[in-house]
Amino acid sequence: MGLDRCFSIIAGAIDQHLILPVLYRFGWMEWGDLSFNWALVCVYGLFAVILTYAVCWPLEAWRPVEHWPSRKAVLVDIFYTLLNRVGVIPVVTFLLFYQVQTDFTGQLVDMGFIPPTLETLIPGLFGHPLITFGLYALILDFADYWRHRLSHSFRAWYALHALHHAQRQMSFWSDDRNHILDDFISFLWFFAVGLAIGIPPLQFPLLILGLRFMESLSHANIRLSFGPFERLLVSPRFHRLHHAKRAAGRHSCNYGAVFPFWDMIFRTADFSAVWLPTGDAKAPEALATGSYLAQQLTGAKMFAAALARRRHT
Amino acid sequence: MITRRTALSLPLALAAAPAAAQTMLAAPAAAPAPAPIALVMNSGGASVSVIDMTSRQVINTLPTYREPSHWALTPDKREILISDASGNALFAFNPHTAKPLGHVRIADPYQLGYTPDHRYLAVNALRLDHVDFYDATTLKLVKRFNPGKKPSHLDFSPNSRWSFHSLQGSNALASFDLTSLKMRWRVPIGNTPAGVLWHRGRLLVCIMGGNGIVEVDPRNGRILRGQATGRGAHNIFYDEAGQRLYVSNRLGGTLSALDPVTLQVQRNYRIPGGPDDIGIDPAGRIWIARRFAEEVAVMDPATGDYDTIPVGRSPHGIFLSTCLRQTGEITAERL
């Protein structure tokens, strides 16, 4: 049995024996057609965490860039990861996206317009799901490059994004440490992209998992570059330069998440063979070592202050 | 991609795709009848599995855009239309060979069916809360209704006067007059209604948030009686001879066989893995899509034993080409 099929069957079992009984008990069976997808997202999320841990932890132990006397600051990143990949956030995002997308699409359809997908925009893609997936991955990574770059360009937006950069003990757990408002902006960003090119087909969850793994790996505390492939995929060394203290704030480099092409094309790439300390020297200590709530609260205050200052000026 | 006009009308398809159409026309006269096939709509896999019904092997997997779910035969039975809800498309295939014939853009088609008089193609748009009536020949939208949330399944009165639509998110059943294209009534029916079937002058509606079906007076929507079948009663079918009704109970993991007159449960078959739509082959075996198991079960109703055929993710609708040998109306997803 293939891994993909194995995950689907696990998700099916979770759906049938855990989620559907709850939906049934509370009279929410109208969501019964979608609950399998929720289970699938969580199963893949959990596997992604396990896979990332299994690969990255030995590597971090073997060739760490930094040795830390205490890993306490990493604990909150583990919480972010579990919340984002296995916990409620995927399901809430799924529901939110579903509802917003449905409402908006409904409005468009009522006006006689059916939103496109990449395959309807480029008919030759139909019947070539792997190529289609690859193209979606490229376009979405390109969109993410600009989202990320813009998040460093606006003072208020960076006030939120600073939470991600404040971690001085950057590890493979750090990928998901984001302010919830920053996540919400990302949601809106990709919602807009989704309206333009459609939502990518989900028949390749293992590939999606692979892309997420690459993002986690790029944050790992590993003395690792990809050698001749450094210009094909974002490596831990490449992304560490983005998290370096000197690159925190509004003038950074290496914004790419999976592919470094965009940084190369738009001249923000830095392939220096150095391993610099990470963090944001200007960020309040709470953003670096505070609890989840303290980080969220501090980030919100910084965001409000940045907005107020903008209005004042 | 073929155009909206050519996709679903054979005479026009002849002009647009002569080679394909010639093959279709020549096949019955020049070649032996094609081997029977089953088409399984993999809602989570954006594909349709083609199964050789004799060897019970998947012989092909055909792509769709996103989420194939249900099917309807065109009135001339020369094309099977498969709905792709989030792909906003209808895909047409040769029902004998599964040869793809093209697709058309339609907003959010979920379950669909031609009215018995072949005037309209009725489409439930579950995600967008629409019930759409398209001209059966041109596929131009004639009328759109927003009767409530999540219209899921549908059926018609045999005289084409009325249509009936379960509203999964509104816990209601709605009926439309197909002459005036106006809503006749909308009534509360039970938690999360799903499958709808016209049966001997009455309507049978599955109550997925409950544990069975209700019988409804089609004149006014009044509930006449209920019958327990199993938790999560999802869809209802009758066999070719009309001797039995079958209800798939998604949550209970069972398939209930009902007496068509008394509606009493004669037998419950254990089919774990989220049984959904079914098909019945000429030997009386029941082909059941098992949503969570990624399989089709082929069950002998005499013993309840079944074999399984692995298919794609979240198999949903299932079509058996053997039903084309029937002489009656099979324009909707009915056996």
Are B208 and A123 inside 8 Å of each other by CB?
Answer: no
Contacts of B271 (CB under 8 A, 6+ apart): B248, B253, B254, B255, B288, B290, B297, B299, B306
Evaluate the CA torsion angle A56, A59, A61, A63 in order and state its sign. negative
CA distances, A168 to each of A67, A68, A287, B126, B329 (Å): 12, 10, 10, 48, 70
Question: Is the Cβ of B273 closer than 8 Å to some Cβ of chain A?
Answer: yes
**Three-state SS at B29:** helix
C-alpha closest to that of B156 among B179, B190, B130, B128: B179
Q: Are B192 and B209 in contact (CB under 8 A)?
A: yes
CA distances, B307 to each of A45, A175, B253, B288 (Å): 32, 45, 16, 10
Q: Are B43 and B66 in contact (CB under 8 A)?
A: no
Q: Are A22 and A15 in contact (CB under 8 A)?
A: no
Give the Cα separation of A139 and A201 in Å (integer): 14
Question: Is the Cβ of B226 closer than 8 Å to some Cβ of chain A?
Answer: no
For chain A, list residues whose CB is within 8 angstroms of any CB belonging to chain B: 5, 8-9, 11-13, 15-16, 20-21, 24, 27-30, 32-33, 36-37, 40, 102, 105-106, 109-110, 114-115, 117, 119-120, 123, 126-127, 129, 199, 201-203
Which residue of A lies nearest to B292 if distances are taken between CA atoms?
A12
Q: Are B62 and B50 in contact (CB under 8 A)?
A: yes
Evaluate the CA torsion angle A140, A143, A148, A149 in order and state its sign. positive
pLDDT the model gives residue B99: 97
Helices (DSSP H) in chain B: which residue ranges? 4-7, 10-16, 18-30
Most confidently modeled of A4-8, A96-100, B166-170? B166-170
Which residue of A lies nearest to B210 if distances are taken between CA atoms?
A24
Q: Which of A16, A27, A123 sits opposite B209 (nearest CB)?
A: A27
**Three-state SS at B300:** coil
pLDDT tens string for chain B (335 positions)?
A: 333 333 344 333 333 333 333 333 344 455 677 899 999 999 988 999 999 999 999 999 999 999 999 999 999 999 999 999 989 999 999 999 999 999 999 999 999 999 999 999 999 999 999 999 999 999 999 999 999 999 999 999 999 999 999 999 999 999 999 999 999 999 999 999 999 999 999 999 999 999 999 999 999 999 999 999 999 999 999 887 778 999 999 999 999 999 999 999 999 999 999 999 999 999 999 999 999 889 999 999 999 999 999 999 999 999 999 998 776 555 445 44
Q: In a mutagenesis test of the A interface, which of B106, B128, B131 is the best target, namely the one with the most A β-carbons within 10 Å?
A: B128
B33: DSSP letter: P
Are A32 and B108 inside 8 Å of each other by CB?
Answer: no
What is the domain partition of chain A in residue ranges?
95-312
Mean pLDDT throughout A243-254? 84
pLDDT the model gives residue B31: 65
Q: Which of B88, B272, B291 sits opposite A36 (nearest CB)?
A: B291
pLDDT the model gives residue B333: 55
Mean pLDDT throughout A241-270? 91
* Token pair belonging to B263: 């509606």
Q: In a mutagenesis test of the B interface, which of A3, A24, A117, A207 is the best target, namely the one with the most B β-carbons within 10 Å?
A: A24
Q: What's the order of all strands across the beta sheet hosting B202-207? A: B193-199, B202-207, B212-216, B223-228
Give the Cα separation of B296 and B281 in Å (integer): 13
Which residue of A lies nearest to B249 if distances are taken between CA atoms?
A16
Through-space distance between the first and last CA atoms of chain A, rounded to whole angstroms: 62
Are A24 and B1 inside 8 Å of each other by CB?
Answer: no
Q: Are B309 and B295 in contact (CB under 8 A)?
A: yes
Helix crossing, A88-110 with A35-62: angle to 10°?
A: 130
Q: In a mutagenesis test of the B interface, which of A33, A108, A117 is the best target, namely the one with the most B β-carbons within 10 Å?
A: A33
Question: Is the Cβ of B293 closer than 8 Å to some Cβ of chain A?
Answer: yes
Contacts of B217 (CB under 8 A, 6+ apart): B202, B203, B223, B224
Q: Are A12 and B274 in contact (CB under 8 A)?
A: yes
pLDDT the model gives residue B32: 73
Alpha-carbon gap: A50 to the closest alpha carbon of chain B (Å): 23
Give the Cα separation of A92 and A62 in Å (integer): 37
B318: DSSP letter: E
Q: What percent of chain A has pLDDT over 70?
A: 97
Are B293 and A9 inside 8 Å of each other by CB?
Answer: yes
- Burial label for A285, CB within 10 Å (0-12, 13-18, 19+), is exposed
Give the Cα separation of B290 and B309 in Å (integer): 10
Mean pLDDT, all residues of chain A? 89
Chain A to chain B Cβ contacts (< 8 Å) = 104
Which residue of B lies nearest to A197 if distances are taken between CA atoms?
B87
pLDDT the model gives residue A130: 87
Task: Give B229-282 as a DSSP string.
Answer: --TTEEEEEE-TTSS-EEEEETTTTEEEEE-TTT--EEEEEE--S-EEEEEE-T
Are A114 and B107 inside 8 Å of each other by CB?
Answer: yes
* Token pair belonging to A306: 């940045």
Mean pLDDT throughout A5-31? 90
Of the two residues A206 and B168, the one the predictor is more confident about is: B168
Q: What's the order of all strands across the beta sheet hosting B57-63? A: B57-63, B47-52, B37-42, B315-320
CB atoms within 10 A of CB A44: 25
Q: What's the order of all strands across the beta sheet hosting B130-135? A: B112-114, B120-125, B130-135, B141-145
Tell me which amino acid residue A268 is: T
Q: Are A256 and A234 in contact (CB under 8 A)?
A: yes
B14: DSSP letter: H
Through-space distance between the first and last CA atoms of chain B, rounded to whole angstroms: 30
A81 — pLDDT class (breaks 50, 70, 90): very high
Which residue of B lies nearest to A119 if distances are taken between CA atoms?
B65
Q: Tell me, letter by letter, the H, E, C secondary structure of chain A.
A: CCHHHHHHHHHHHHHHHHHHHHHHHCCCHHHCCCHHHHHHHHHHHHHHHHHHHHHHHHHHHHCCCCCCCCCHHHHHHHHHHHHHHCCHHHHHHHHHHHHHHHHHHHHHHHCCCCCCCHHHHCHHHCCCHHHHHHHHHHHHHHHHHHHHHHHCCCHHHHHHHHHHHCCCCCCCCHHHCCCHHHHHHHHHHHHHHHHHHCCCCCCCHHHHHHHHHHHHHHHCCCCCCCHHHCCCCCCHHHHHHHHEHHHCCCCCCCCCCCCCHHHHHCCCCCCCCCCCCECCCCCCHHHHHCCHHHHHHHHHHHHHHHHHHHHHC
Give the Cα separation of B12 and B27 in Å (integer): 19
Give the Cα separation of A25 and A19 in Å (integer): 10
Q: Which of A29, A105, A129 sits opposite B63 (nearest CB)?
A: A129
Chain A positions in Cβ-Cβ contact with residue B106 (cut-off 8 Å): 114
Question: Is the Cβ of B145 closer than 8 Å to some Cβ of chain A?
Answer: no
* Token pair belonging to B166: 């379960």
A192 — pLDDT class (breaks 50, 70, 90): confident
Alpha-carbon gap: A93 to the closest alpha carbon of chain B (Å): 17
Give the Cα separation of A69 and A72 in Å (integer): 9
Largest CA distance in chain A: 62
B158: DSSP letter: T
